[in-house]
Structure 1
Amino acid sequence: MHLRSFQLSDVHAVTSIWKMTASREKEEETLQVLSRQLVCDRDLVLVAEDEGRVVGAIMGTIDKDTGFLYCLAVHPAYQGKGVARGLTQLLENRLRDKGVNRTQAVIDEGTEKLYPFYTHLGYQGIRSSVLGENWIFNLKNLIGQVAR
Structure 2
Amino acid sequence: MFVRPFQLSDYASITKLFREVLSEECYEETIEAFAKQLTLDPELVLVSVLNEEIAGIIIGTIDQRNQGYYYRIAVAPECQRKGIGKALIASLKMKFTQRKVSKILVTVDVHNEPILPVYEAAGYTDNNFSRSFRHLRIVSGR
TM normalised by structure 1 equals 0.82
Q: Partners of 2:79 and 2:21 in 1: how far apart?
A: 12
Question: What amino acid does structure 2 have at the position aligned with 1:36?
Answer: K
Higher strand share: 1
| Counterpart check, 1:122 vs 2:109 | no
For residues 68-122 of structure 1, the C-alpha deviation after alignment (integer angstroms, 9 at most, x for no partner) is 0011010011111111111110100001111212211112222222111112222
Deviating above 4 A after TM superposition, structure 1's stretches of 4 or more consecutive aligned residues are: 126-129
Give the unaligned 5+ runs of structure 2: 137-142
Q: How many residues align?
A: 134
Distance 1:5 1:128 in 2: 25
Q: Does the Cα contact within 8 Å between 1:10 and 1:54 map onto a contact in 2? A: yes
Contact 1:44 1:59 in 2 (8 A): yes
**Larger RCO (alpha carbons 8 Å, 6+ apart):** 2
Give the Cα separation in 2 of the matches to 1:32 and 1:120.
28
SS of 2:111's equivalent in the other structure is coil
Please tell me the root mean square deviation across aligned C-alpha atoms, in Å.
Answer: 1.9
Aligned-pair CA distance for 1:38? 0.7
Q: Which residue of 2 aligns with 1:42?
A: 42
TM score, norm. by length of structure 2:
0.86
Identity rate, percent = 33
User: What 5-or-longer segments of structure 1 have no aligned partner?
Assistant: 136-148
